[in-house]
Chain A
Amino acid sequence: MMLRISKYSIFFFALIIILFPRIASNISAIEHYPDIMIFAGIYCLITIGLSLLMGYAGQISLGHGAFYGIGAYISAILTTRFGWNPWSCMVIGAVITSIVAFVVGAPSLKLKGHYLAMATLAFGVIVFIIFNEEIEWTGGPDGMTGISGLTLFGFPLNTVERYYYFVWGIVLAVFIFTVNIIQSGSGRALRAIHSSEAAAMAMGVDVSRYKIMVFTYSAALASVAGSLYAHYLNFVNPSSFDIFFSIKLLIMIALGGMHYIWGAIIGAVIITFLNYEWLHYFEELEILVYGAILLIVTIFLPQGLAGIPAIVKHWFRRTLSDGSR
């Protein structure tokens, strides 16, 4: 498990974020990539939280699509029906989602493994049904249109490039904040919970408190991501928040490597590009491809893509020591 994340790598990450639209806009084949990267950034916010929950605390969630949806719908309903300021909607969305996560999470997280997976899955399906059925509020399966865009200090975020920097700025801030959590005492407590709940408890770690904290934190991040999504697209409908999406989040985490916080970023970016760009021509095969990716990663690359350097290093070292003998 990756314990230290160097300042240089974060600096390098920031540099790529800044330079990417400049480079992309000069190459006509990938001109539209910054637009896709906005969605990737939105998904990164969810996967960073989910990676903390699954990879570091060892708790599975198949219902984060629901928290994402709750954030998006709260922003959509409050701005279109009541004309509220989008920023306050985003905050209210995060607060309400946190409360929902706490209420659902407190009893759920006492459950383990399969029970937790099914409880979060059931929660996700229930929320999805509510989005579809409460037509008066949510517009039902047709969704809602006319959600206003965002304006930052009188500066409208109305171009792809502006929204790109805004979203990835948030991703970078959340990433650094989460890395700090991982490297603090709380991070060590989380890893202890993952290795053995009983041992962590014996060492005086308040297991249920930590689990609920991480669950709520990841849900709040998903809610903010939902708000960002609604304000960017100016449109929401239930199909963006179904179980398939929750499973896609799981695939992002597994592909990137759930024990590495970098894995959250790598997985989210790759799956987003698969979704919006590369799988475009194979729409019929989409589910099959996702299933195959998840299965292959689980069997052959349980550490995910972010774990490859460690495997290579290990292999290299072994070969070297064999050679010197």
Chain B
Amino acid sequence: MEQISIAGQLFQYLITGITVGSIYAMVAIGFNIIYDVTDIINFAQGEFVMLGGLTMVLFHVSFQIPIIIAFILTVMGVTLIGILVDRLAIRPIRQPSVLTLIIATIAVSFVIRGAAMFFWGKNPFDLPAFSGRNPITFYGAVIQPQYFWVVGFLIVVVIVLSIFFDKTITGKAMKACADNADAARLVGINVNQMIMLSFALSAGVGAVAGIIITPISLMEYDRGAMLAVKGFGAVILGGLGSFPGAIIGGLILGIIESLVAGLISSGYKDAFALVVLLCVLFFKPSGILGNIEISKIKRF
């Protein structure tokens, strides 16, 4: 058997970490989109990812719909669920305090998870990789073609969202709500519509993350909670509400996790990522890209 050098091994962990980290980054972006417009941390964010993966399996594997159409249908379906979450669970709350909203999004995550378990059962599902599973060997590291898709989609999502928030009127209106909802209302922006749109966008990004990770790590009904916690770790690491922070935070968390799993103990990789989250929360809650005042970085 070919001897794998230490450098090659580290390189391998780095590649895996970047792939997983890209997913965390996308979950983190989803958190930030909703947080920026509504000040809500959506504890059901991970469920959008899970739904994306499982719905894609349903369309592409069970119904044999071609991959591109299935992809579009899945993202649209999960986006619709994001809208429903806002309409049916968040908006009807009469006294929206932080505590009530946290509880409401936790309730939503349970409803979605429970429905997914009822519908798909408890077994994990596989999805064919987008361009096969013949790995490329590169400096001693084995790279699945799907890894490129993951990183590529992260880049596409970031570019599309940047254009949306910087160049379109709707995107700018959303940013205005994030800055000051009352002032936005005064200049004629429909804040409720913007909130709905933020849930839709965030669910869509979650669905994309779920679709592209399923060929690598499979997907089952209860994956959402851990993805949400890790995604939130990425959010905190990068600074709550910061777009570039979410990407850097996600990548750092993914790489740390992959290194811990490879070098220390695979059982403790999740715990380690969460210890990092706790340390940042305790010692620098504004995150590595954050200013002293968290609210000051509350823009894209």
With A299-B89, A302-B94 already in contact, the answer to whether A114 and B102 are too (CB < 8 A) is yes
Task: Please report the C-alpha to C-alpha distance between residue A60 and residue B265 in the assembled complex, in whole angstroms.
Answer: 32
- Least Cβ–Cβ distance between A11 and chain B, in angstroms: 33
Nearest residue in A to B121 (C-beta to C-beta)? A284
Is residue A123 within 8 Å, beta carbon to beta carbon, of the partner chain? yes
Tell me how far the C-beta of B105 lies from the nearest C-beta in chain A, rounded to whole angstroms.
10
Kindly state whether residue A290 has any CB partner on chain B within 8 Å.
yes
Distance (Å) between the CB of A283 and the closest chain B CB?
10
User: What's the least CB distance linking A189 to chain B, in Å?
Assistant: 19
B229-264 contacts to A (CB < 8 Å): 229, 232-233, 236
Interface size on A (CB < 8 Å)? 41
User: By the criterion CB–CB under 8 Å, are A117 and B114 in contact?
Assistant: no
Q: How far is the CA of A302 from the CA of B107 in the complex (A)?
A: 13
User: Using Cβ atoms and an 8 Å threshold, which residues of chain B touch A108?
Assistant: 281-282
Q: Please report whether the interface of chain A is mostly helix, strand, loop or mixed according to DSSP.
A: helix
Q: Is the CB of B100 within 8 A of A115?
A: no
Name the one of A58, A122, A123, A288 contacting B115, with C-beta atoms under 8 angstroms. Answer: A288
Q: In the docked arrangement, what's the CA distance between A118 and B94, Å?
A: 24
Assess whether B94 is in contact with A286, with CB atoms less than 8 Å apart: no
User: Nearest Cβ distance between residue A136 and chain B, in whole angstroms?
Assistant: 13
Q: Which residue of A lies closest to B266 (CB)?
A: A133
**B103→A298 contact, CB < 8 A:** yes
Closest to A291 in B: B110
Assess whether B95 is interfacial by the CB under 8 Å rule.
yes
In the bound complex, residues from chain A placing their C-beta under 8 Å from that of B98 are 112-114
In the assembly, what is the distance between CA of A121 and CA of B93, in Å? 24
A247 touches B282 (CB 8 A): no
A107 interface contact, C-beta 8 A = yes
Contact B100 A125 (CB under 8 A): no
**Bound form: Cα–Cα A28–B226 in Å:** 44
Partner of A118 from the list B93, B110, B118, B232 (CB cut-off 8 Å) is B232
Which chain B residue has the least Cβ–Cβ distance from A106?
Answer: B282
B274 CB-CB contact with A under 8 Å = yes
Per the bound structure, the CA–CA distance linking A47 and B109 in Å amounts to: 22
A118 B111 Cβ-Cβ under 8 A: no
Task: Tell me the minimal C-beta distance from B151 to chain A in angstroms.
Answer: 27
> 0/1 per residue, B106-135, Cβ < 8 Å to A?
111111111101100000000000000000
CA distance A270 to B43 in the complex (A): 25
> Which chain A residues lie closer than 8 Å to B7 at the CB level?
none
Shortest A242–chain B CB gap in Å is: 10
Write the chain A residue with the least CB distance to B109.
Answer: A291
Which residue of chain A has its CB nearest to the CB of B278? A122
- Contact A295-B108, Cβ < 8 Å, known A111-B285, A118-B236, A129-B270: yes
B267 → chain A, closest Cβ, in Å?
A: 4
Contact with B along A258-298 (1 / 0, CB 8 A): 00000000000000000000000000111111111011001
Contact of A132 among B99, B115, B267 (CB under 8 A): B267
- Known contacts A125-B229, A291-B111; decide if A113 and B99 are in contact (CB<8 Å): yes
Which of these, A122, A285, A295, A299, contacts B274 with CB under 8 Å?
A: A122
Instruction: Kindly state whether residue B92 has any CB partner on chain A within 8 Å.
Output: yes
Complex contact B118–A291 (CB within 8 A):
no
Query: Would B93 and A58 count as touching, CB distance under 8 A?
Result: no
B143 to chain A, nearest CB (A): 29
B100 pairs with A298, CB closer than 8 A: yes
Inter-chain contact A118/B281, CB cutoff 8 Å: yes
A12 to chain B, nearest CB (A): 30
Interface residue? B277 (CB, 8 A): yes
Structural contact, A292 and B111, CB atoms closer than 8 A = yes
Give which listed residue, A133, A254, A285, A299, contacts B114 with CB less than 8 A. Answer: A285
Per a CB cutoff under 8 Å, which of B93, B109, B225, B236 touches A298? B93
CB neighbours (8 Å) of B275 from chain A are: 126
- In contact, B281 and A119 (Cβ under 8 angstroms): yes
Cβ proximity bits A69-112 to B, threshold 8 Å, 1 near / 0 not: 00000000000000000000000000000000000000110011
Could you say which residues of chain B place their CB within 8 Å of the CB of A113? Answer: 98-99, 102
Chain A: CB-nearest residue to B279: A107
Task: Provide the residues of chain B in CB contact with A112, threshold 8 Å.
Answer: 98
Extra 15 A-B pairs, beta carbons < 8 Å, given A60-B99, A298-B93: A54-B99, A113-B102, A115-B285, A117-B41, A118-B41, A118-B229, A118-B277, A119-B278, A126-B271, A126-B274, A250-B106, A288-B118, A292-B114, A294-B107, A302-B93
Top-5 shortest CB links A-B? A291-B110, A288-B114, A287-B114, A294-B107, A291-B111
A/B interface sample: 29 pairs, CB < 8 A? A107-B281, A108-B282, A111-B281, A113-B102, A117-B43, A118-B281, A119-B278, A125-B229, A129-B268, A129-B270, A130-B271, A132-B267, A250-B103, A254-B103, A287-B114, A288-B110, A288-B111, A288-B117, A291-B108, A291-B110, A291-B113, A294-B106, A294-B110, A295-B89, A295-B104, A295-B111, A298-B103, A298-B107, A299-B89
